[in-house]
Amino acid sequence: MTLNCLAVIRFLHTADWHLGAALQGWSREPEHRAALSQLVAVAKARDVDAVIIAGDVFDSLNPSADAQRLLFDTLRDLRGACPRATIALLAGNHDAAGRLEAPRALFEIAGVHSIGVVARREGAFDLDTHLLPVRDASGAVAAHILALPYPRAADLPVAPSDLSGSGVVWSVRELYREATAAARARIGAAPLILTGHLHVAGGLESEGAERRILVGGEHAAPPDIFPADAAYVALGHLHRPQHVGRETIRYSGALIPMSKTEIGYAHGVTIVEIGDDGGVASDRVSLTRAVEHLRVPERGALAMDEIDAALCKLAIDPATPQDARPFVHLAVKVDAAAAGLKAEIDAICEKFPIRLVSLAVERPQRSDAPHVAPLRLAERLPLDLFRDAFETTHGAQPTQEHVACFNGLLEDE
């Protein structure tokens, strides 16, 4: 998209940083640092008037000190790179809303608006918290951000009991309607940029990475919950960059691949311009990966005696430091169930400067086994998937202890 007029406001839209995330125990911090330093450079080079971080700043409710330091370092760098930009930091479903708001007094000194929950005053939507002015290069307020975080159950208006459709969709729609109406009463027809962290229908999911946001059994909201007069809707939650419904309702996508299914995504940030005629244009700036993510082989599976040659062909410099070595997702095929398979594969991989993070094993179908149509992922219980995955990886059923441990993790979600 390109503008046919003068840009009034330019901003950077990003989301789903998932700071503190690990892959099979390996820290993602080097990748995060590299991606965020590129993000800061893009914000500076494009001289943006605002930066919107649309949720899932952290990967967990209880982020490590390193993850928090990385956020604070990045905000400092961003402030240095774009001294006059409005910076909006929003909570996603992975974030502890209170934790994100806790440093607010200090954030305010740095001009960072951290918003974890929907604020109300005497029941009414609190515009002073959520409506953020965006100033152009001359210092004039030229647009506003209506900054809304992931809507938690407590944030949502209660749906009428005689409703025929989905209560959650009604409530989310009502939240956006109420917030937008309040904003319009204050700012008139000026350009309004909305934010949100939720699953909007029509978005392509990357299986396994984003938790399905289930509020009252509902998976997603339709894109028409966002009022039509919003110039742009900056979304977080889905990790693949995409628009949903209108061209101006967009997911910026994650910064780095969070799982095997996301290797093929073009990770980056979205730069959005709003023109003096109200037109909106956006373009993508790709980020360079600090660490490679490789599927070996790219398609299909290798026989055991092909693994060595395939890893050799990657030609990775043996001097590559540990935390820069590629993450490898390996697929192998075996003729029969082989005890000690994982140990054998580990022994091969150890000879190469790689980090094996997943192993898929294809076994031949037993010809006497009855053919059963595979169940859809959504129809399977997490514990059954865990049992299957465990057996594939270790060639044995999980023990009671493993099951108890898995169930404990499930409850933590």
Residues lying near Mn ion in the complex (CB under 5 A) are found at 56, 92-93, 237
Minimum distance, C-beta of residue 403 to Mn ion, in the bound complex (Å): 27
> Which of 238, 356 has the CB closer to Mn ion?
238
Instruction: Name the residue nearer to Mn ion (CB basis): 237 or 355.
Output: 237
Tell me which residue has its CB nearest to Mn ion.
237
Cβ proximity to Mn ion: between 186 and 211 the closer is 211
The torsion of the CA quartet 373, 378, 381, 384, rounded to 10 degrees, works out to 50
Give min distance, CB of 108 to Mn ion, in A.
25
Q: How far apart are CB 197 and Mn ion at their closest, in Å?
A: 6
Six-digit token string for 237: 């939650």
**For residue 234, what are the β-bridge partners?**
195, 250
Q: Is 16 left (phi over 0), alpha (psi -120 to 50) or beta?
A: left
| Shortest CB 7 distance to Mn ion, Å | 30
Q: How far is CA 309 from CA 242, 313, 353, 358, in A?
A: 37, 6, 14, 18
Q: Which is nearer to Mn ion, 15 or 131 (CB)?
A: 15
CB atoms within 10 A of CB 69: 13
CB of 152 to Mn ion, least distance (A): 12
Q: Give Cβ neighbours of residue 103 (< 8 Å, ≥ 6 apart).
A: 114
- CA angle, residues 203, 206, 207, in degrees to nearest 5: 120
Our CB check for Mn ion shows the closer of 56 and 262 to be 56
Q: How far is CA 20 from CA 59, 71, 163, 238, in A?
A: 6, 10, 41, 18
Long-range contacts of 400-408 (CB under 8 A, 24+ apart): 406/382, 407/383
Q: How far is the CB of 92 from Mn ion (least distance, A)?
A: 4
Of 233 and 330, the one with the shorter C-beta distance to Mn ion is: 233
